[in-house]
Amino acid sequence: MEKLLIVILQLGLFIVISPVLSGLITKIKNNIRMRRGQSVFQPYYNLVKLFSKDEVISDTASWIFKVTPIIVFSSTLTAALLVPVFIFSAPLHNMGDFLCLVFIFALGRFFLALAALDTASSFGGMGSSREMFISSLTEPVLCLVIFAVSFQAGSTDLSALGRMHVVSISSIIAALALFLVAIAETSRVPVDNQETHLELTMIHEAMVLEYSGRRLALIEMASYIKQMILFFLIAQIVFPIALPGFGSFTQILFWSLQYLARIAIIAIVIALVEVTVAKMRLFRVADFLGFGFVLGVIALVCAMLGV
Amino acid sequence: MQEFILLGVLVATYLMVIAKRVPALMKSFQYQSFFLSLMALSSGFIEKHADLYFIAFLIVVLKVFIIPRVLYRIAKKINVDENLGLFVNVQLSLVIALLLTYYSGTFAAILGFKHNFISLAITVAFSVIFIGGFLMISRMKAFAQVVGLLVMENGIFLFASSIYGGMPFFVEIAIFFDVFVSVIIMGLFVYRINKFFTHIDVGKLSRLKG
Amino acid sequence: MINILPKQLFLFDPLSFFFLFVILIVSLPSAIYSFGYLKGEYSPRKIILAQVLLIAFILSMVLVVTVGNVFVFLVFWEIMSLVSYFLVVFDTKHEKSVQAGMIYIVMTHIGTAFLVAAFMIMHKYANSFDFLAIKNACLIMPLETKNIIFLFLLIGFGTKAGIVPLHIWLPYAHPQAPSHISSIMSGVMIKTAVYGVIRFVIFMLGASSCWWGILVLFLAIVTCLVGIIYALMERDIKRLLAYSSVENIGIILLGVGLAMFFQSKNMPYLAVFSLIAGMYHLINHAIFKGLLFLCAGSVYKATETRDIEKLGGLIKNMPQTAVYCLVGAMAISALPPLNGFVSEWLTLQAFFLGVLNVSGGVKLFLGICASLLALTSGLAAACFVKAFGITFLGKPRSHHAKEAKEVPLSMQIGMIFLSILCIVFGLAAVKIINLLSKIAGCATGIDIAGMSFSFNNITLTAQMGNGIYLSAPLLMLSFVALGIIGFIVYRISARPKVVIYNTWDCGYYKLDSRNEYTATAFSKPFRIAFSFFLMPYRKTQKIRESFYHVKSFAYETHTTPIFKKYIYDPALNLVFKSAKFMKRIQPGSIHLYLSYIFVTTLLLIMFVKHF
């Protein structure tokens, strides 16, 4: 029974709070650019607007286009259930571990890429080609980060991550590598620009170009939740706080607040990076993620040395 | 007595080596076969085997008369130049033939036979075989190959008959028939080769290679 | 030669049963499929020949994995290779089939030569051809002999399995064979080579040195990467699948190599775990690769072409085939909750547990291997997005694709069966792993009584890891439940309607299939990223009408086949050069040949006294 409560609370947290994160990042970026910028709650207004708009679907599209948003949304939420937020063990930790998380993201990405090719538009093809390229290069980095962090924690289960409470050199380097991966996966500058729709520069946006209305709202929510999961993982590695067992209501409130505080710090760092760095050429992303790979190897070596 | 016959065989063989034209080769072959039949006769006389008389008669009929006639007829039909093309000139051929005879003599010594009639017979037999082989190698025309094969068969018969008094009768007959048929076939081949290539210079067949 | 005829012809231990199951589970759907496939393609007499050869092929493979005697094993191995050669060159009108068959038969015989050498050495020590007798003899063999036997067996079975650099026949032979044969060859025949490795190296030789496992791991990871990078570049759908088979054999051998490594380090739980991962991936690959080849065959039959650049939009005309192909593509890209995901997770988990528990610098090697495995899995997903997306989605790129019709039900039955198996093998992972643990225990000779691999009936766990769990049915359940929630969320917003209109065209009024993304363009980022390995080059040709007007422009881009160019072509040239050199003893002159005989006889006579 408490498990069910935790599941619902966690899902609610993710669905409700994740747009704010995106809004926070946009607000900080705009402030640094000396503008007032949109409100922090703007993503909510966008989602509400999208839900009430008509949809236009291409006549070339098949059932894959129509089904993809639901698959992406449900797979990202499943991934959210694997992450420990309130108590040290994730609500459904019997379901999978850190490696499983990577594959679940791959499921959403696979269908999104297929849906992009489904509409026979060049933007879609370009987007899915570049997205699969970048994601296949992030996979080895992710794997090394998982190995390095789990070596320290003792198992690949995210509950062990939740129980970690020491910072070591290897976890800092692993967090740096994970940071690079998070930039790539959430399509932030320097890998991709979420604010542009120029075909030369867009990757994730190109894949969802043909989506509109409610389906687009589902995909946007899924990308917010994925971003929040990745930020949480970085936060837990960099500022590890050992989460407790199940406790009272105030305890849950306290832990969710500290959780949000940690993620907010990561979001601020990301916003600063986005503003100060220019977007890279696509083929330099390979070097960027290669650097991440080297960082991952160093993290693994440090973890093995016990540093 | 038998030594003289063996000497006759050897001399006929040397005559074959120095032959430069086809009729000369044929004549020497006939002489060799004649002496061979005399050898068979004398062996038969000494060993008292009846079949050796029959074989001697066969040798005369086949190798002295029939086979040379067949070969002459084919030679006339294809109307070819009588010169046997020589790879190795006459003088050198003779030296090689002498060397081969010496070699077969040492071979007889290796086999363990001391100086007696049998070692002489082995010497002559093997030298006939080797010289037959040498003929096949060092003469260009296809005729030489045919005759060389016949000479080698002569040598084998000489070896067998001098050591053991002849091979079993049926083996002899079989070998004779084999030789006869193979001569016919080879004659046919030579005819065919000439018809196709308009020459029987085997050296010119060298384009058939891998 | 005394002991050829065996006392006990068959050896029915769990390992043989497992491979028998793998063979039958792929061959039966392919056989049912073949009736529909061959019907329009060849004359009735040729079809009968094809079916007879198919039965002979399946029978020979069944006998290869069940006999217990090395000599009989070799006989059936040869029969299997020969029958598959005849099936590869079945379409004798195409010159490419004949060339492919030639490459295949030469490579497989080189492998068989190494196998014969290894078996002869084993026979020398065991004085018998029986498996069990050889197994006992291997306990007393000296280490250098074991090393040599291991290397020969690796080369011999590696040629058949498709380990780099011996994989060169796979992309020639698999596309040219008829599709049901490709599915059996790719799904089952190359697995018999893995059977050979498990049987002869793990079961008989016993993994004695740790460098064996490391060598197999190294070769396997190189195979994975090379296979998938070449697969990404392909535009012929069956060649793409053939290269992908090379990659998956690499993944299977990663599991097997890890098992060998752990066994040599005396870590029984991990050895059994890795072997389970390897065997699970083996059967999964058989199922989904068989399925994918059957789908490729259906596409070929419907559209007469294997070139994906000429296809597209097939999901509208061939909806059922598209669903089966999607299941196969999802399975091979290791997406939850299908079977490919479970076996890749198991392999990665085996690597992680190795990193945790092994001591020394090997840990780093295992970690990097695991990350390269993750790289290949990402690349495989990209490859199959390309294959499925360009073939089935979008607008049709040619007249053939527009006119395609769905294949008849007789061909679909095989595909339905294999797709259902993909899903079942993903969800019922626990039951299968418990079965596989018994088989792995028998193969490695380890007692598995105290080991547990599952938490309850739906959750996998690794005993040595603390609390690592995976439950595919729970994942599926949560996907479905949350999907329903998403659907409800989608539906509750009333009123908005859905309009079907053209794809957004930036205001250009006539978008057609030429504006779509092509397969070559899809894989261009990979071509550039891996250009150090692929060495692409391009050829362009401009035809001008005048200085200002270019009439036509042709652009070709190729990747250099480096194995063919740098290893096999020089080797072949060497063979031909030495043959030409040897030709000099054959000038065609009869006199020379006669003199060879003559001189030899004379020389022999000279030495007669030594006899």
DSSP-derived secondary structure for chain B = -HHHHHHHHHHHHHHHHT--BHHHHHHHHHHHHHHHHHHHHHHHHHHT-HHHHHHHHHHIIIIIIIHHHHHHHHHHHHT--SB--BSS-HHHHHHHHHHHHHHHHHHHHHTT--SSHHHHHHHHHHHHHHHHHHHHHHB-BHHHHHHHHHHHHHHHHHHHHHHHSS--HHHHHHHHHHHHHHHHHHHHHHHHHHHHHSS-BGGGGGG---
3-state secondary structure of A165: coil
**Token pair in block for residue C433:** 């792993």
The residue count for chain A: 307
User: Do the Cβ atoms of A8 and A251 come closer than 8 Å?
Assistant: no
**Token pair in block for residue A24:** 């926070």
Q: Which residues of B touch C591 (CB under 8 A)?
A: 87, 136-138, 140, 202-203
DSSP state of A157: S
| Contacting subunits of B (3+ beta carbon pairs below 8 A) | C
**pLDDT-derived band of residue C545, with 50, 70 and 90 as boundaries?**
confident
Please report, as a single letter, which amino acid is at residue A156: T
The answer on pLDDT for B41 being more than 50 is yes
3-state secondary structure of C579: helix
Nearest CA distance, B49 vs chain C (angstrom): 32
DSSP string, C409-474: HHHHHHHHHHHHHHHHHHHTHHHHHHHHHHHHHHHHT---TT---EEETTEEE-TTSSS-EE-HHH
pLDDT digits (tens, 9 = 90+) for B80-132: 677 888 888 889 999 999 999 999 988 888 887 777 888 888 899 999 999 99
Helix (H) or strand (E) holding A291: helix A285-305
Nearest CA in chain C to B141: C591
Nearest CA distance, B38 vs chain C (angstrom): 29
Q: C539 pairs with which residues across the strands?
A: C556
Picking from B87, B137, B146 by the largest number of C CB atoms within 10 A of its own CB, the best residue to mutate is B137
Q: b/e map of C569-605 (b: 16 or more CB within 10 Å)?
A: eeeeeeeeeeeeeeeeeeeebbbeebbeebeeeeeeb
**Distance, CA of C404 to CA of C317 (rounded, Å):** 6
**Distance, CA of C245 to CA of C251 (rounded, Å):** 10
Domain limits for position B166 = 2-207
Please report, in tens digits, the pLDDT of each residue of chain A (307 residues total). 777 888 888 888 888 989 999 999 999 999 999 999 899 999 999 999 998 888 889 888 899 999 999 999 999 998 988 888 776 666 777 778 888 899 999 999 999 999 999 988 888 899 999 999 999 999 999 999 999 988 888 878 887 777 777 788 888 999 999 999 999 999 888 888 888 778 777 888 888 888 988 899 999 999 999 999 999 889 888 887 766 666 667 777 777 788 888 889 999 999 999 999 988 888 889 999 999 999 999 999 998 888 7
Contacts of C214 (CB under 8 A, 6+ apart): C257, C261, C362, C365
The answer on pLDDT for B43 being more than 50 is yes
Q: Does residue C503 sit at the B interface (CB-CB below 8 Å)? A: no
Q: Does residue B205 sit at the C interface (CB-CB below 8 Å)? A: yes
Q: Which residues of C touch B210 (CB under 8 A)?
A: 583, 586
Rounded to 5 degrees, what angle do the CA atoms C24, C166, C193 make?
25
**Distance, CA of C192 to CA of C23 (rounded, Å):** 9
Contact criterion met (CB < 8 Å) for C586 and B210:
yes
DSSP state of C567: I
Looking at the 3D structure of chain B, how many domains does it have? 1
**Distance, CA of C540 to CA of C552 (rounded, Å):** 11
Q: Does residue C206 sit at the A interface (CB-CB below 8 Å)? A: no
pLDDT digits (tens, 9 = 90+) for B128-161: 999 999 998 888 887 888 888 889 988 988 888 7
Q: Is A30 exposed, middle or buried (0-12, 13-18, 19+ CB in 10 A)?
A: middle
pLDDT digits (tens, 9 = 90+) for C74-128: 999 999 999 999 999 887 677 888 888 999 999 999 999 999 999 999 888 888 8
**Token pair in block for residue C314:** 């097939």
Secondary structure of chain C: what % helix, strand, coil (to 5)?
Answer: 70, 5, 20
Biggest alpha carbon–alpha carbon distance for chain A: 58
Q: Does residue C587 sit at the B interface (CB-CB below 8 Å)? A: yes
What's chain A's average pLDDT?
87
**Distance, CA of A26 to CA of A39 (rounded, Å):** 9
**Token pair in block for residue C122:** 């084993």
**pLDDT-derived band of residue C1, with 50, 70 and 90 as boundaries?**
very low
| Domain-wise residue ranges, chain A | 2-53+60-305
Q: Tell which wins on pLDDT, C405 or C332.
A: C332
Contacts of C50 (CB under 8 A, 6+ apart): C34, C38, C42, C87, C90, C178
Measured from the Cβ of residue C371, the count of other Cβ atoms closer than 10 Å reads 25
Q: b/e map of C11-36 (b: 16 or more CB within 10 Å)?
A: bebebbebbbebbebbbebbbbbbeb
Contacts of C399 (CB under 8 A, 6+ apart): none
Nearest CA distance, C262 vs chain A (angstrom): 18
**Distance, CA of C208 to CA of C89 (rounded, Å):** 41
Contact criterion met (CB < 8 Å) for C588 and B145:
no
Pairing of strands C454-456, C536-544: unpaired
| Domain-wise residue ranges, chain C | 14-475, 533-611
C-alpha distance from residue C601 to each of B13, B109, C548, C606 (Å): 20, 18, 80, 9
**Distance, CA of C592 to CA of C602 (rounded, Å):** 15
* 3-state secondary structure string across C488-530: HHHHHCCCCCEEEECCCCCCCCCCCHHHCCCHHHHCHHHHHHC
Please choose, from the candidates B12, B10, B38, B35, the residue with its C-alpha nearest in 3D space to the C-alpha of residue B25.
B12
Q: C459 pairs with which residues across the strands?
A: C456
In this complex, which of C587, C595, C605 lies closest to B137 when CB atoms are compared? C595
**Distance, CA of A177 to CA of A296 (rounded, Å):** 6
